[in-house]
Chains A and B, each alone.
Chain A
Amino acid sequence: DAKTTQPNSMESNEEEPVHLPCNHSTISGTDYIHWYRQLPSQGPEYVIHGLTSNVNNRMASLAIAEDRKSSTLILHRATLRDAAVYYCILRDISSGTYKYIFGTGTRLKVLA
């Protein structure tokens, strides 16, 4: 019952920007969009989240479409350490737990 759709894999050259897309066409008006990444053999690491406006932090930028049915995570200059699986996540608010519903994510490969 994943709520988000992402490409299975993407490649980028080191030092170049990366745009990771995510579709969430069934998003509700109050759903926040969360992005996490998971490096090999580690737990998921928070990257960024947003509701309607574009967001920037030290790790990345999040561009949210005006209709909120899609978003894009932007890594401004990919490094080898950014190679990971990136998850775009909505929460299950109907059950009251606010648990994350993970999709399959995008595996990002960064080429030296």
Chain B
Amino acid sequence: GAGVSQSPSNKVTEKGKDVELRCDPISGHTALYWYRQSLGQGLEFLIYFQGNSAPDKSGLPSDRFSAERTGGSVSTLTIQRTQQEDSAVYLCASSLRRAREVTQYFGPGTRLTVL
């Protein structure tokens, strides 16, 4: 079946501009995660959505970052007034539910470059 998809695959923007990154999770998956991977680094958690519950935003690095998930499916991550340190690969993952043994499925990521 279809996996997690993300768009765009690459985004180049100028410092100070706003960007929107999109994630389409696997159909029926109630849990959705955003992670960020800076050059040569491991993945860091950004935000988590579970069904209709309030999202866990504890990983967002600043108030310039926000995310929403409409209808329990598609999610968008918005970065306002982008800075060069925001350059990274942004990865989305989904899982069937929130549970210890349930695996997350990752999308291919969006590579963001802020000039």
Q: B58 contacts A102, CB within 8 Å?
A: no
Interface flags, B73-115, vs A, CB<8A=1, else 0? 0000000000000000001010000111111111111000000
Interface flags, A89-112, vs B, CB<8A=1, else 0? 001110111111111110000000
Complex: how many Å from CA A109 to CA B42?
Answer: 18
Interface residue count for B (Cβ, 8 Å)? 28
Chain A CB within 8 A of B65 CB: no
Q: A34 contacts B103, CB within 8 Å?
A: yes
Which one of B45, B91, B106 contacts A99 once the chains associate, using CB atoms below 8 Å? B45
Chain A CB within 8 A of B12 CB: no
**In chain B, residues 22-50, which have Cβ atoms closer than 8 Å to a Cβ of chain A?**
31, 33, 35, 41-45, 48, 50
Q: A31 contacts B100, CB within 8 Å?
A: yes
Which one of B50, B98, B103, B107 contacts A49 once the chains associate, using CB atoms below 8 Å? B103
Q: A95 contacts B58, CB within 8 Å?
A: yes
Q: Which residue on chain B has the smallest CB distance to residue A51?
A: B101
Chain A CB within 8 A of B18 CB: no
Which one of A30, A46, A92 contacts B103 once the chains associate, using CB atoms below 8 Å? A46
Q: Which residue on chain B has the smallest CB distance to residue A49?
A: B103
Q: A44 contacts B101, CB within 8 Å?
A: no
Q: In the complex where A43-B91, A43-B108, A44-B106 touch, is A99 in contact with B101 (Cβ < 8 A)?
A: no
Q: Which residue on chain A has the smallest CB distance to residue B55?
A: A97
Q: In the complex where A43-B106, A97-B48, A99-B33 touch, is A104 in contact with B101 (Cβ < 8 A)?
A: no
Q: In the complex where A43-B91, A43-B107, A43-B109 touch, is A98 in contact with B45 (Cβ < 8 A)?
A: no
Complex: how many Å from CA A30 to CA B44?
Answer: 23
Which one of A45, A99, A103 contacts B42 once the chains associate, using CB atoms below 8 Å? A103
11 A–B contacts, CB within 8 A, in A order:
A30-B100, A34-B103, A42-B108, A42-B109, A43-B93, A44-B91, A51-B101, A95-B58, A98-B31, A100-B35, A104-B42
